[in-house]
């Protein structure tokens, strides 16, 4: 009887850590801030910016910022598994720099944000960037913080780059992602960890800008995903900060393998940095066709056999007639239609001049200017292909 009592008295006598009176509990902040408060805060934040501001120059706004953001951006792209022609939602797009970048890569991108001021900057950024060859479409829409301004099953991919931790209701947001994603689509995230709200920077941001800096706990994310009918999240791990080693040590590793003490140090480093930045993706059902066809390059392979090649006479010079057998020896189905992922037959012209290589195909113009490398559309892998004359200009 006395021992428990004594232990209790000893514990109560110990000095208790003093809680910072200015500490902000993020859950309490979420309860206190209305949707209107969050909108006003966001608009006030972006109203001070111009197209010359750092927010519009991401991911190359500063040397330190570029190192951090490009490292995380590369990981996000791995998680998103993008492909040309995919319709991609950039959630919480802010000034739209990532949305515009997605379109430049050939995706059809739409960015959403709660701040009209941010989207005005995004439209300006879009107007500044010339449309690249092969680029996709880009658009922006205002988000009310509850229902995404998109139809059911209308996007192939969703990307959240340091945006999801700002939402009021993580469960409802993931349910919205599940609604707008097509079957077989995925949502990819690059977000902070489970103690994000307690960091000095987050505390300062919440105090100054009245913005939500919530924690991202994977146990909660998993539960929300399953509730929404999506799969369990998959994590992508890498060192947020790279290891630096001397060249002599590196050469030893390359020759003899990594020494146990270094391997142990690497694991310790990964453990310390594990939740500093969490990259993960959530699938919605079975993979779509784009995960199995030639819109992705991995798994593409072919066997090409020239069965016959002969020179043919022509009124303007000479031509070449080829009979080629091509077999798909890879694991992906070939797309023959004119769309992203279309499989082509390439002819490498070895002469040192620029040639005119002509062909008639699908009612296209019979002559196409091709420097050194002629790309000829492949419609039927087993069909005899006839080439019009090839002339030196």
* 309 shares its domain with 278: no
* 193 shares its domain with 316: no
Asked if residue 254 has pLDDT above 80, the reply is yes
* 46 shares its domain with 177: yes
* 172 shares its domain with 81: yes
Give me the pLDDT at residue 318, please. 66
* 282 shares its domain with 343: no
For residue 282, the surrounding DSSP H or E stretch is strand 278-283
pLDDT, greater one: 29 or 365: 29
Highest averaged pLDDT of the listed ranges 246-255, 261-270, 334-343: 246-255
Residue 74: pLDDT band (50, 70, 90) is: very high
* 338 shares its domain with 280: no
16 inside domain: no
CA neighbor of 114 nearest in space, from 28, 57, 36, 2: 36
pLDDT tens for 295-321 read 777 788 888 888 887 777 766 666 677
367 inside domain: yes
* 225 shares its domain with 360: no
Total domains in the fold of the chain: 2
Contacts of 91 (CB under 8 A, 6+ apart): 112, 158, 159, 160, 163, 164, 177
Asked if residue 146 has pLDDT above 50, the reply is yes
Residue 134: pLDDT band (50, 70, 90) is: confident
60 inside domain: yes
* 184 shares its domain with 59: yes
Q: pTM for the full model? A: 0.77
Task: Report, as an integer, the average pLDDT of 371-379.
Answer: 36
Residue 242: pLDDT band (50, 70, 90) is: confident
Question: Among 47-61, 124-138, 303-317, 352-366, whose mean pLDDT is lowest?
Answer: 352-366
Question: Among 73-77, 111-115, 219-223, 346-350, whose mean pLDDT is lowest?
Answer: 346-350
Asked if residue 392 has pLDDT above 50, the reply is no
- Cα separation of 26 and 167, whole Å? 11
* 320 shares its domain with 352: yes
CATH number of the CATH domain containing 86:
3.40.50.150
**Both tokens assigned to 91:** 């959630």
Residue 290: how many CB atoms within 10 A of its CB?
Answer: 23
Task: Report, as an integer, the average pLDDT of 278-283.
Answer: 96
Give me the pLDDT at residue 369, please. 35
Whether a cis peptide bond, with omega within 30° of 0, leads into 59 is yes
- Percent share of the chain, pLDDT over 90: 55
Residue 382: pLDDT band (50, 70, 90) is: very low
Domain of residue 228, residue span? 26-237+274-291
Give me the pLDDT at residue 313, please. 73
* Averaged pLDDT score across all residues of the chain: 82
CA neighbor of 198 nearest in space, from 221, 165, 155: 165
pLDDT tens for 167-200 read 999 999 999 999 999 999 999 999 999 999 999 9
Contacts of 94 (CB under 8 A, 6+ apart): 46, 55, 113, 115, 118, 122, 163
Asked if residue 252 has pLDDT above 50, the reply is yes
pLDDT tens for 41-72 read 999 999 999 999 999 999 999 999 999 899 99
pLDDT, greater one: 90 or 9: 90
262 inside domain: no
pLDDT, greater one: 209 or 295: 209
Task: Report, as an integer, the average pLDDT of 288-298.
Answer: 69
End-of-domain residue from the set 291, 319, 334: 291
- Percent share of the chain, pLDDT over 70: 79
**Both tokens assigned to 22:** 């200015």
| Alpha helix segments (H runs only) across the chain | 2-13, 26-32, 35-47, 63-80, 97-104, 116-128, 170-180, 200-209, 218-227, 247-256, 260-273
9 inside domain: no
Contacts of 349 (CB under 8 A, 6+ apart): 355, 357, 370, 372, 373, 374, 390
Residue 95: how many CB atoms within 10 A of its CB?
Answer: 28
- Cα separation of 286 and 295, whole Å? 17
Cα-based distances in Å from 301 to 163, 216, 323, 382, 384: 38, 41, 20, 16, 21
Residues 393 and 352 sit within 8 Å (Cβ to Cβ): no
- Cα separation of 180 and 153, whole Å? 4
* 79 shares its domain with 214: yes
* 285 shares its domain with 341: no
- Cα separation of 106 and 169, whole Å? 32
Give me the pLDDT at residue 152, please. 98
112 inside domain: yes
* 33 shares its domain with 116: yes
210 inside domain: yes
At residue 307's C-alpha, the angle toward residues 303 and 309, to 5°, is 120
125 inside domain: yes
pLDDT, greater one: 305 or 345: 305
End-of-domain residue from the set 256, 291, 326: 291
Give me the pLDDT at residue 159, please. 98
């Amino acid at each position: 009887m006395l021992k428990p009592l004594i232990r209790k008295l000893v514990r109560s006598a110990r000095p208790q850590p003093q809680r910072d009176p200015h500490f902000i509990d993020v859950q309490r902040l979420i309860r206190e801030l209305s949707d209107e408060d969050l909108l006003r805060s966001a608009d006030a934040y972006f109203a001070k910016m111009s197209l010359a501001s750092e927010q519009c120059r991401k991911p190359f706004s500063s040397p330190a910022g570029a190192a951090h953001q490009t490292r995380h951006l590369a990981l996000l792209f791995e998680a998103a598994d993008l492909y040309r022609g995919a319709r991609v939602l950039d959630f919480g797009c802010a000034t739209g720099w990532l949305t515009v970048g997605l379109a430049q890569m050939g995706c059809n991108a739409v960015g959403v944000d709660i701040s009209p001021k941010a989207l005005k900057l995004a439209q300006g950024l879009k107007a500044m960037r010339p449309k690249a060859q092969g680029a996709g479409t880009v658009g922006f829409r205002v988000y009310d913080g509850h229902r995404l301004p998109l139809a059911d099953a209308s996007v192939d991919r969703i990307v959240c780059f340091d945006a999801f931790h700002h939402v009021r209701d993580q469960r409802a947001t993931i349910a919205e992602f599940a609604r707008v994603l097509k079957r077989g689509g995925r949502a990819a995230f690059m977000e902070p960890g489970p103690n994000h709200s307690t960091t000095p920077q987050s505390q300062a941001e919440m105090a100054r800008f009245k913005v939500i800096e919530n924690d991202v706990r994977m146990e909660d994310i998993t539960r929300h995903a399953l509730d929404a009918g999506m799969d369990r999240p998959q994590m992508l791990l890498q060192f947020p900060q790279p290891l630096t080693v001397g060249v002599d040590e590196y050469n030893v590793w390359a020759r003899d393998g990594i020494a146990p003490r270094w391997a142990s140090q690497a694991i310790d480093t990964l453990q310390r940095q594990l939740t500093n930045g969490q990259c993960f993706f959530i699938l919605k059902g079975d993979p779509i066709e784009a995960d199995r066809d030639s819109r992705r390059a991995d798994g593409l392979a072919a066997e090409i056999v020239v069965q016959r090649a002969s020179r043919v006479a022509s009124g303007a010079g000479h031509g070449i007639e080829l009979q080629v057998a091509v077999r798909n020896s890879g694991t992906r189905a070939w797309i023959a239609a004119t769309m992203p992922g279309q499989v082509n037959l390439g002819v490498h012209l070895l002469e040192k001049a620029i040639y005119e290589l002509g062909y008639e195909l699908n009612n296209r113009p019979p002559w196409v200017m091709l420097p050194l490398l002629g790309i000829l559309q492949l419609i039927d892998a087993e069909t005899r292909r006839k080439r019009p004359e090839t002339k030196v200009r």
